[in-house]
Amino acid sequence: MNRVVGRVVVAGGSGSVGSLFAERLHDSGSDVVIVDRTVPAPTQNVARFVRGDISDPGAEVADVVRTADVVLLCVPEPVALVAIGRLVGTLRPDALIVDTLSVKSTVVPALHAVTTIAGEAEALSLNPMFAPSLGFAGHPVASVVVRDGRRGRALADLMQHWGARVVTVTADEHDRLAAAAQALTHAAVIGFGAALAELNVDIADLDRIAPPPHSALLALLARIASGAPEVYWDVQAANPYAPAARRALSRGVAQLSDVVEDGEAKAFGDLLDRLCGVLGPLRGAYRERSAKALRAITTDLTKETVK
């Protein structure tokens, strides 16, 4: 199988997602050119850097785009949408254009329009469903195939070679699933943090007494609260299914409160039984994953205490 995708222009290649792709593509033998307004970190191992804005390409940026087999847009949605429209006359007729946005309802129609105009151009809409610092190995990459072709298949094969699980979905399936997998999850953790702030418990006291599930939530809160706000904002604000996910979360908490405050112990048990049903045949597998994760957290905390 072909695991080299030729010359790749990585727009936004100085950022976390862009640098992950740029470095892995370079290591796999591709000719990588980073286009960004920010100079890459000295540790980035790429062949060439062009300072510029992919949404407002000057002569040098246009020149590298014209010779690219693949243009990878690792940039925010407003930049990506403008860039897609402005690159139509610059892209090679058989090039592959790719985005890495967390919401697909807007970008996929834009990519489809480009491929309609640009002859044999291919388009792929990806969403790495993990923090870039974790790397591809063992993690899913959602993939919307806007227009199939050999370059897109080569890139998908390459990501699988890196250890990723490439999951093909439609744009609507992506946004619906991402609302549950990302928007709901982030909302639950942020809501947990907001509630914790309201309770005004000293974190040092809490840390000493916290059981493993609570420590796991604190770890998730630290990860999200310390992350790039624009990433989590896009997940919440841009996904058309995210409002329904947040409303469902609010109703779920209200349902729990009603059952407990009414003193309905049997109804509480029934609620947990119904939630087990949500997990279906994966219930046992997720219980085991939870046990392993919580044991790992406990081990880490014990080591830190010993130090």
Q: For residues 20 and 23, give the distance between their C-alpha atoms in angstroms, rounded to a whole number.
A: 6
What mean pLDDT comes out for the span 143-168? 97
Residue 35 has pLDDT above 80, yes or no: yes
Predicted local confidence at residue 297, as pLDDT: 82
Predicted local confidence at residue 296, as pLDDT: 87
Q: What whole-number percentage of the chain has pLDDT above 90?
A: 83
What mean pLDDT comes out for the span 33-46? 82
Residue 301 has pLDDT above 70, yes or no: no
Gyration radius of the chain's alpha carbons:
22
Residue 97 has pLDDT above 80, yes or no: yes
What mean pLDDT comes out for the span 82-97? 92
Predicted local confidence at residue 44, as pLDDT: 66
List, edge to edge, every strand of the sheet that includes 122-128: 48-51, 31-36, 7-11, 70-73, 96-99, 122-128, 140-147, 165-168
Residue 143 has pLDDT above 70, yes or no: yes
8 A C-beta contact, residue 109 and residue 85: no
Q: For residues 69 and 74, give the distance between their C-alpha atoms in angstroms, rounded to a whole number.
A: 16
Domain parsing of the chain, residue ranges: 7-169, 173-306
What mean pLDDT comes out for the span 274-296? 93
What mean pLDDT comes out for the span 152-171? 97
Q: Which residue has the higher pLDDT, 298 or 23?
A: 23
Q: For residues 135 and 139, give the distance between their C-alpha atoms in angstroms, rounded to a whole number.
A: 8
Residue 193 has pLDDT above 90, yes or no: yes
Q: Is 263 helix (H, G, I), strand (E, B) or coil?
A: coil
8 A C-beta contact, residue 97 and residue 80: no
What mean pLDDT comes out for the span 43-54? 83
AA letter at 263: G
AA letter at 118: A
What mean pLDDT comes out for the span 221-227? 94
Predicted local confidence at residue 231, as pLDDT: 87
Q: Which residue has the higher pLDDT, 41 or 240?
A: 240
- Whole-number average pLDDT of the chain: 92
CATH of 7-169, one of 3.40.390.10, 3.40.250.10, 3.40.50.720, 3.20.20.70: 3.40.50.720
For the ranges 88-92, 253-257, 268-272, the lowest mean pLDDT is seen at: 88-92
